[in-house]
Amino acid sequence: MKRSILIRFFIAILLVAGPLAGMAAAHDHDHNGDGHPDLELEVHNGHLELHGHRIAHHHDFYQFVDVGGGNWVTQHEGTTWPGIGADHDTLPPNSTVDLIITGGLMYWDGASAAGFEPASGGTHMTLRADSFADPYSVYGDSTEQVLEDFISVGGGGGIHMHPIWELFGNSDPADGAYYIDLRVEAEGFEPSNVQGIMFHKGMSHHDYDAAIQLMLHEHNDHHHHPPIPEPTGLALLGLGLAPLLKKRRR
């Protein structure tokens, strides 16, 4: 009987601790070490893993800023735009990695009850590896795009790049929140999980947080790291503890 109670107790612990561990792992990836986390690429058992903060987190304030008069380039609160990194010895030196945009550019104006919808009216985002690379455009109705050899691996087997993300429209792009989903692939490895990045133009921290919460509610969460357990998860822990407590009261 004691063994049965202990088994139920540990199962309950795992149900709660597992998601917590997943979220903790997602919040530890900061290859710059300066509090400005980017997407981090790792390899585990032959599988590529792309880590970040699931879709976004309140301190990932990736904002499109007006550079040179209407050239909207995303930055992280005045520092650099979101990057992609990997530690040394992660991948074969001097190889390349494909970046796959898995869908279109999504937009929310910060007020509409309809939530996020595909960007319209000519609004789109371009993505390129550097100033000299050809841009890839992501519209609201875009389908999956494979950006071959987009990421270059250094001689030490690591990555540290900051792509150029720009926002365009037929007129001045509307203020609001934007996001895309992506994954990475490399020869000899299984493709990574899908990871999302959220950006914004003209939003306050408060409104950006609201956009994140809306997206976390709307988005297909199985692509991303599990969330911190809600009351239902904590209730499972209570169920595991209940038989033990009952036994002790007897």
Q: What's the CATH number for 36-219?
A: 2.60.40
Q: Is the pTM of this model over 0.85?
A: no
What pLDDT does 99 receive? 97
| Tens of each residue's pLDDT in the chain, 250 residues | 555 554 554 444 444 343 333 333 333 444 444 444 588 999 999 999 998 755 677 778 899 999 877 789 988 876 778 889 999 999 999 999 999 999 999 999 999 999 999 999 999 999 999 989 999 999 999 999 999 999 999 999 999 999 999 999 998 999 999 999 999 999 999 999 998 889 999 999 999 999 988 888 876 544 444 444 444 444 544 555 455 445 544 5
What pLDDT does 101 receive? 97
* Cα separations in angstroms, 137 against 176, 184, 243: 19, 17, 57
168, β-bridge pairs: 124
Start and end residues for every CATH 2.60.40 domain found in the chain: 36-219
